[in-house]
Each structure stands twice: as structure tokens, then as C-alpha cells.
Chain A
């Protein structure tokens, strides 16, 4: 008997069909990944396995059998005994997935007691045992802490400990590492791998990240619009995909181990590229000894510490770092939205205070970067009007031109942001930046909120604009692969400082700083065999 057997699963929310006739099977001890972009229905499948749609108004059709329980027909009590005991789930955001008011050990003990009738003391002991098992140091003491006193990675470990508490046969992990930094992600994936080896439990992994799937499972099921596109062993599907959509998806995934695609670059660009390396090209912006502190007195901390940079005309500088590295603060200082505590930003050789139109920014969050109450045309027209342009005809004309330039319809002028998808909103943001006729655009995580296919399109657009308009770009991101694909030069940030800087290929192919090495080793590989090698390499790095 299989651990999970799903036949003809359909889930409908009102008129929306999120999952459409999906069938798959997972054997005991095996690992399967559901891979898809947002809206593919993959998380809905995970919830359906535990019957979490019951009582929510969603219509679930087809047959679901998990660990011998018919989820569709089971009574509420049978379902309750399945959840957590035989099949446990790990969620995406570990902070919001734990009750903020209770100690972590108590929450795990509560789950254990819900299934075992163990006395309070024994349940607490079990909680400490599983916390220790997932690698929480000093588990006795830490079990008394509340979730906000843990770091992101520790919280995810605690949630995994909760899943382990009753010794389940199946672990369902819904985007377990999406909210985490790449080095922490690697640790969590390694932990899942080890636990699976030790306990022999089955794993159903839901993820948008093909690399994460390649690291962790034996089989992959690619989903799109609620249906299965392709299914098979991970090596086969990722190595030689049979379906066009799978190929498209894999093609869009940026590779950290491949040099930047030179095919797109024109001869001209190669010339400027070399110039920038030798420092002959004109300098657009220069940062000298930038430092920024937040908070006061005891609470003060330094977000950016003594950073100096030079950005030349027509080049792309990538700034890469994990959360808290100070990269966003640095980006905001470069455009003048934040004043540095010490040091200065020089534009065209002159020290500068405050914002100036020639230096623009593209923001991370496509939801909050556009005013929901103003039409996108009006938002794009802002820099024109601020400059003193009064002629409505000329403003409209220029905005239409910009809309078309970024790949949108000129007729979209009077539409509002909520009518656009995430990728389209990022294009609007780029058009708004272009309206100021900038010489430099700082892009702060411009594609991290987007699906990989959309991500690839936006990255391509930025590249085109740079070539065409001779723009300088600063590309701030946490994703090492994306940064490699767009950058001429790369700066790696950690704790407010730049630990390594140089031409992109040199930094990636021959990293000097140990932190850069650690980062690169943590990036999930698309090839399962390389993934295994990396895992071994990480163990060595950890020992050193």
C-alpha cells in the first residue's frame, strides 16, 4: 500500500478551479516534490492531503488516501488523529506558524499530548528531545523561549521538531525554506535529508524553486494551472525535460555556475564592459566611506559600515548579500533616500545631499511601490510634472512612449495598479524611473517577488535598457544566480561591509573570501548529483 495515493483530485474555490484532476502516488520512505509557479495549485494539494479544506467552503473532489486513511470519507475524529500523528506539515513562514504567546516547548508538548495522552511532564521531555534532534543547541533552556526569541532558521527547525514529535510516516513541507536566507536554507534542506535517512519517513515537498527540489527529492511533479505537466525521477525531469513548459521553466532559472550569457551582448557593449573594468569609462556615482547607523545609544547598530564604491557609465554593479547585510540601506543611500551617518556620495564628482532625478530606483515590492489610488500613467508622469512640464499632451505622449518601451500597452495610462500582475507592475516602476531621464538606476531586489519566468523577462528588459540608453545599473539582490546573470562587477556584502568585490566571473568562479565560498556552496544545484557533492562540501566547510 502506498503512503499517499491521490486520484483525480479537484479543488474548487467558488468558480475558481485551483486543482484540476491531479493524480499521483508516493511510496513509503520516498520523496516527491510538487514544483510550480504561483497559482499552480501546489499548496492547495498539500492542504487537501490533511483535509484542511473541510469546513472552509472549498469543494474537494476525487480520492485522497494518506497513511491508510481515506481523507475524503474519514470522520472529523479520524482526520484529527491523522493530522500531526501520521502525517505532519511544515509551513512556509515559521514565525507566523507558531503561537507567539507560548513557549516553543509547550507548543510541541501540546501537539504530542493531543495524540498520545502522555502526562504533561513526559510531553515536555519529548519536546526537548525533538528540539535537540533538529539541532537546537541547549534544547532544555531554549524550549522555554517564545518564537520571536528565535532566529528564522531556528524557528523553522522548531517547526520541524513539532512535526517529528509524534513520529509521523509522512512529512509535508510547504515552501519550507522560501522565507530563509540561502545559507540557512541549505542547513534546513540538509536537516530534512538527514532526518529522512534516519527515520525513513516519506517527504512531500511543495516548492517554486527547482533547485530546492533537486536538492531534496527522488521524484518531481511539475504543476501548472492545477494540472500535472510532467512527472518522473528528478534526474530525468530536470535533465531531459519532455514537456515544453518544463523546458521553459528550467530555461528561465538563472544559473549560478554558468557565466553571463554573452550571446546577447553586442560588440559595442563588450568594449564598454572592458573599459569599465580598466576604469577608463566615465564615473557616474562614487560612494566614499559610507556608514549608516540606526537607533540611538544602547540600541544603536551599524547597518552599513565604511563602504566605498564606484559606478561607471553603462555598467552593472551587482550587490549581493543575505538579509541584514545592509544592502538595502546602501541602495537607499546611493539614491539619496537615506542620509549617511558618515562618508559621502559623489555624483559627477560633486558631493551630493538628498535625491536628484538622474539617480532613480526600482523597488522590490510590486504592491507597495505604486500608489493604489492613482492611475499608473499619473505615477509615471510624476517626474515629468515635478520637472515643471506643463503641456498635458507632451506628458501623455512621453508616458505612452515609456509604457510601450517597457513592454506594456500605451492604452494602460488610465488603469490602476491592482489591474496589473506583479511583473507588469515592476515594468510600470521601471517606466517611472525612466521618466526622469536617469543616468543610474538602483534596483532593490527588483525580481525577488516574481515567478522565475517573469523574473527572466524583467531581467532581460533591464539589460536592454542599459544597452540602449547607456544607463548604469546597481542591482541589489539576495539571489546569487540572478546577480551573476546581470552583473559586470559584483560586491558581496556581510554585516554592513563589502567582503569581496570584483568582475562577476572572477568572484563566482574563484571566490577568495570564505563567506563568499560559503554562500556559493549553499546555492541549490539543478543537477541532483552535483547537489549531493555540494552537500558533502558543505559538511566539510562546516567542520572547518
Chain B
């Protein structure tokens, strides 16, 4: 097998695939949102606008153009940037341009970039936490299989799996910040300003997001390890006098790596959804909170832009996971 070369080729093909997926998502999102019933111009203009005013707004937002021209314009803006006239002045929106907000005339790209660090801090911090907690618990369960420890852990993880993220978040916030007053109510502090405060303030959001995901990973790790333990090659090493520590820590754990990567990719989108809830709950000024706001005022360019950006991260995470999976499990056909 051509090893590294094959892997590079695979990574390249996977990147192209991710781009195609993104394009498809953009078409679906664009069509779905701009074809849905409901008069966007009326909502944007406000309930007291006269029909003539509504017509003017529709004209200004190009809502009367055919859908495909609008989509192509959108794509052009994304790739090459675009100029927008906002009545009195002309605003240049440089690539990647996701359009202007109907509500504030702000550039959507700028809006998202401003909020992105908060959301990225939340999601990736939580991811580190859930991987450590989840895999650790899973290994412990498999190691102590059939004993009290395993049964206790199984119960705890089941409770974790069954609790919706906002319920855990609510309970954590009320108990830790309200009743016990161990931590102040979280307020976002940028990592670049004060790393220590950044971490302290994000601790509760991280925990609420990570605990549930960790439970899923613990279950998977345990199941994958037990499955591996039942395989023939484990019997080989036992029959050759290799110690139990090496059998579990080296051979059984290795069998769980690929499934964990796959689950992380699969759950990433769900975790992003959970992040929206967490941000809303803790009042963190991230993309999720902005999205909920934009949705409530039907600010379509912002909604579409945010959905696409989040979709971009999910697709990216999936592509990275696929490549990692191929590295972790060289048996998969690199096709």
C-alpha cells in the first residue's frame, strides 16, 4: 500500500467532497429560506408600512428578482465581494461577503466574525472536556467490567445521556451560581484579555455542554472496548501470556479509537446545537445567541449566513474526522 501518498490523495478527495457538500447545503438553505411563505419585505419594513413602502423595501432588497439570480449574486459576493447601496451611500462588502443585515445594514460577515471567538471557545473547550471525561469513564468501565464500579458508572452515564443540555445547564447555574455561590454568573471574557477569567467564566457552560456528550462517549468507549475484548486477537495475546494491563490498555483501547473519532464527527453538529442553547442560557454573546435573535426578527441574510458558517464548521469537522479515521483505521479502503 502506498501509505502516505494514498492518504494525501484521500485527504484531497475528501476536501473536494466537503466543498461540494457545502455548495449543496448553501443551495438548500438559500432555496428553503427565500421560498418559504411569509412576506419578508412586510416583516422587515414593520407592521405599519404602507403597501408602497413595502414595495420599495422589496425593491431595495432585490426580493422581486428571480431566485437563481439572487443565489448567483450571493455566490458572487461570497467569492469576489460586492457593493451594496443603502439608499444614501454605497458600501463595499469584501469577500467572503454574506450580504447585509436587513435590520441594521451591517455586514453579516463582520457580525459573525465578532461573535465567532465566543462560540469557538465554548465548543472546542467543551470538546476537550467531553473527550477526556467520556473516554476516561469508558476505559474505567471496561477495565472494571462486571464489578460495582462499572455498574455505578453505567448508571451515571445513563442519567447523563437522558438529561437535555438546557436542563443540566439550568440546574448547574441555579445550584453553583445561585445556591452555593461558588462561581459568579458567567460573563464572557476574551481569551486574549485574561486567559484565567476566560476559563473560569466558561467553566459552567463547558460543563453543561460536555457532561451529556461525555456520557455518550463513555457508553461508546465501553461498548467498543468490550467488543474488542471478545475478538480473536485478544485471545491470542492472552494465550501468549501478555498481561491484562497491556491487553486492555494497548489492544482493547486501540479498537475504540476509530469509533470515538466517528462519534465525535457525528455528534459535532448536535453539540453545536447544544451550544446555541448553552449560549442562550448563560447569556454568552456568541453566534447562537445572535442566531436566535436574527430568527426572531426574520433577518434572513443573517440567518442564512449563520447557518452556512455553522454548516461550514460541521462539514470541516466531518472531513477532518474522516481523514483521522483513515489514519486510525488503515484497513478502511481509501476511496
Contact = CB atoms under 8 A, between A and B. Distances in A.
Interface of A: 50, 52, 79-85, 88-89, 91, 93, 96-102, 110-111, 114-115, 146, 148-149, 159, 162, 299
Given A99-B237, A114-B241, 20 more contacts: A50-B239, A52-B235, A81-B241, A83-B239, A83-B240, A84-B239, A89-B239, A89-B240, A93-B232, A97-B235, A98-B233, A100-B233, A101-B329, A110-B237, A110-B246, A111-B242, A114-B240, A149-B1, A159-B236, A162-B236
A96 B240 contact: no
Contact of A98 (B236, B250, B255, B330): B236
A82 B232 CA distance: 20
Contacts of B250: 110
5 contacts: A52-B235, A52-B238, A96-B231, A100-B331, A114-B240
B251 interface: yes
Contacts of A96: 231-233
B47 interface: no
Given A96-B232, A110-B246, A101 B239 contact: no
Contacts of B331: 100, 148
Name the residue in A83, A93, A101 with the highest tally of chain B Cβ atoms < 10 Å from its Cβ: A101
Nearest to B258: A101
B254 interface: yes
B243 interface: yes
Contacts of B242: 84, 110-111, 114
B262 to A, nearest CB: 15
Name the residue in A97, A148, A149 with the highest tally of chain B Cβ atoms < 10 Å from its Cβ: A97
A84 B240 CA distance: 4
A299 B1 CA distance: 13
How big is chain B's contact interface, by range? 20 to 34
Contacts of B1: 149
A489 to B, nearest CB: 39
Contacts of A88: 239-240
A50 B233 CA distance: 16
Interface in B132-175: none
B294 to A, nearest CB: 46
Nearest to A168: B240
Contacts of A149: 1
Nearest to B330: A146
Contact of B236 (A91, A115, A148): A91
Nearest to A111: B240
A102 B254 contact: yes
A159 B331 CA distance: 19
Contacts of A100: 233, 331
Nearest to B238: A52
A146 B233 CA distance: 13
Contacts of A83: 238-241
Given A99-B251, A100-B331, A82 B233 contact: no
Nearest to B328: A101
A20 B13 CA distance: 59
Contacts of A101: 254-255, 329
A80 B254 contact: no
Give the 3 A-B CB pairs with smallest separation, nearest first.
A84-B240, A83-B241, A96-B232
Name the residue in B231, B241, B250 with the highest tally of chain A Cβ atoms < 10 Å from its Cβ: B241
B333 to A, nearest CB: 9
Contacts of B241: 79-85, 111, 114-115
Given A91-B232, A146-B330, A99 B240 contact: no
A50 B236 CA distance: 11
A535 B335 CA distance: 44
Contacts of A162: 236, 240
